[in-house]
Amino acid sequence: MSTSRSRSRIAATCSRTAGLSRATARSGSAATARCSRQAILASSAAEPTPPTHAPDPRVIPIDWITLPKAELHLHIEGTLEPESMFELARRNGVRLPYPDVESVRRAYVFGDLQSFLDIYYAACAVLVQERDFYELTLAYLRRALLDGVRHAEIFFDPQTHTARGIDFATVVTGISRALADGRELGISSRLIMCFLRDLPAVEAMAALEQALPHRELITGVGLDSAELGNPPAKFEQVFARAVEHGFHVVAHAGEEGPPDYIRQALDVLGAERIDHGVRCLEDPQLVERLATEQIPLTVCPLSNVKLRVVDRLEHHPLAQMLDSGLCVTVNSDDPAYFGGYVGENFAAVRRALALGDAELVRLARNSFTASFLDEAAKARHLAEIDAHIQPA
Site for ligand ADE in 310-339 (CB under 6 A): 333-334
Q: Name which position in 3, 225, 320, 371 contacts ligand ADE (CB under 6 A).
A: 225
Which residue number, 74 or 141, has a Cβ lying nearer to ligand ADE?
A: 74
Give the integer Cα–Cα distance in Å for 330 and 103. Answer: 29
Which residue number, 210 or 304, has a Cβ lying nearer to ligand ADE?
A: 304
Q: How far is CA 177 from CA 147, 173, 189, 214, 335, in A?
A: 22, 6, 12, 13, 22
Site for Zn ion in 329-358 (CB under 5 A): 333
Q: Name which position in 22, 161, 252, 273 contacts ligand ADE (CB under 6 A).
A: 252
Which residue number, 56 or 255, has a Cβ lying nearer to ligand ADE?
A: 255
Asked if 78 is part of the footprint of ligand ADE (rule: CB under 6 A), the reply reads: yes
Residues 3-42 as b/e (b if ≥16 CB within 10 A, e otherwise) read: bebeeebbebbbebbbebebbbbebbbebbbbbbbbbbee
Residue with nearest beta carbon to ligand ADE: 224
What lies within 8 Å, CB to CB, of 351 at 6+ separation is 28, 29
- Ranges of beta strands (E only) in the chain are 69-75, 149-156, 188-196, 220-224, 248-253, 273-276, 297-299, 328-330
Is 255 a catalytic site residue? yes
What lies within 8 Å, CB to CB, of 4 at 6+ separation is 315
Which residue number, 81 or 157, has a Cβ lying nearer to Zn ion?
A: 157
Output the smallest distance, CB 376 to Zn ion, in A: 29
Selection from ligand ADE, Zn ion, none that 78 binds (CB < 5 to 8 A by kind) is ligand ADE
Q: Name which position in 34, 69, 75, 306 contacts ligand ADE (CB under 6 A).
A: 75
What is the separation of C-alpha 91 from the centre of its chain, rounded to a whole number of angstroms? 30
Selection from Zn ion, ligand ADE, none that 357 binds (CB < 5 to 8 A by kind) is none
* Burial class of residue 250, CB neighbours in 10 A (0-12, 13-18, 19+): buried
Q: Which residue among the candidates 255, 314, 359, 384 is catalytic per the annotation?
A: 255
Residue 227: Cβ within 10 Å count: 24
Selection from Zn ion, ligand ADE, none that 255 binds (CB < 5 to 8 A by kind) is ligand ADE
Selection from ligand ADE, Zn ion, none that 388 binds (CB < 5 to 8 A by kind) is none
What lies within 8 Å, CB to CB, of 210 at 6+ separation is 158, 162, 168
Residue 16: phi and psi, rounded to 5, are -70, -40
Asked if 153 is part of the footprint of Zn ion (rule: CB under 5 A), the reply reads: no
Asked if 255 is part of the footprint of ligand ADE (rule: CB under 6 A), the reply reads: yes
Output the smallest distance, CB 350 to ligand ADE, in A: 22
Q: Which residues bind ligand ADE (CB under 6 A)?
A: 75, 78, 113, 224-225, 252, 255, 303, 333-334
Q: Interface residues with Zn ion (CB under 5 A)?
A: 333
Residues belonging to the active site: 255
